[in-house]
Amino acid sequence: MGFTFPTDARQKAGAVKVTADGNNFYIPTVIFSSDGITPISISNPIAMKNASVNNEHVANTPIAWDGLKLFDFVNVPATLSSGLFIKIDNNGQFRDLTVTFELEVASGVWMQWYDAYGIEYSFNASGNSRRVYGGIPPFAKYIRGRLKLKAAAAPINGTQTIVQVQEVI
C-alpha cells in the first residue's frame, strides 16, 4: 500500500493551501515510481537521480550544520504531474528546523515555493521524527528548484533523503 495523505473536510486528499480562486492545491493520494506499479511511501523512497547536493552531503548520509544549507536540483521536472518528496529523520536530536522549497524564476532569482502556490514546511524536528511531504508545483515554468533547510539551533544531526517521482494517473 502506498503512503496515503490526510484528507480535508471534503475528503480531498492532501489539501495543503487554499488558492486565491477558491480551489485547493492538492497533492495526490498515492505516488508511484517510474515503473507505474510500485508505490512510493515512507518505507519505500526512491533515490532522486537528477539531483545534485552540496559536495559534503549526499542523500541518506548523516548531516550536521549550523544555520542554512541549500540542496540544488539541476533538472526540474517538466510536467505538472511531478511530485517532490522530502524525508528527514532527525535521529534523536531536538532542534527547530525549517524546510523550504524554492524555485528559480529567472537566472539567479529564486522565490519560495509558497509564492508559487506551494507550501513552506516548518516543523519542530525532534526525536527520530520522520516526515514525508509532497506537492505538485508548476515545475515547467521554472529553471531549477532547491531545498532550503534552516536550523534555529545548531548543530542539527540526522539523515536526509530527497526523492522526486512521477505521478501515474
Question: What is the pLDDT, as a whole number, of residue 72?
Answer: 47
Instruction: Report helix, strand or coil for 140.
Output: helix
The structural domains of the chain, with segments of one domain joined by +, span 47-166
Question: What is the pLDDT, as a whole number, of residue 143?
Answer: 67
- Position 140: which residue type? A
Q: Do the beta carbons of residue 27 and residue 82 sit within 8 Å?
A: no
> How far is residue 127's CA from residue 60's CA, in Å, rounded to a whole number?
17
Question: What is the pLDDT, as a whole number, of residue 14?
Answer: 44
pLDDT by residue, tens only, the chain of 169 residues: 344 444 555 555 443 445 455 554 444 444 455 555 555 554 454 443 333 333 223 333 344 444 444 544 434 444 433 444 455 544 545 455 566 667 677 777 777 765 544 444 444 444 444 444 444 454 556 666 666 666 555 555 554 444 433 332 2
Question: What is the pLDDT, as a whole number, of residue 52?
Answer: 33
Question: What is the pLDDT, as a whole number, of residue 110?
Answer: 74
Question: What is the pLDDT, as a whole number, of residue 27?
Answer: 40
* Residue at grid coordinates 511530485: 83
Q: Which residues pair with 29 in a beta bridge?
A: none
Question: What is the pLDDT, as a whole number, of residue 105?
Answer: 73
Task: Give the predicted TM-score (pTM) of the model.
Answer: 0.41
DSSP labels, 34-101: TTSSSBPBTTB----TT----TT--TTSEEEESSEEEEEESS--SSTTEEEEEEEE-TT--EEEEEEE
Q: Which CATH number fits the domain 47-166, given the four candidates 3.30.1050.10, 1.20.120.160, 1.20.120.80, 2.60.120.510?
A: 2.60.120.510
Q: Which residues pair with 13 in a beta bridge?
A: 7
Question: What is the pLDDT, as a whole number, of residue 113?
Answer: 63
The three three-digit cell numbers of residue 160, written as one number = 536526509
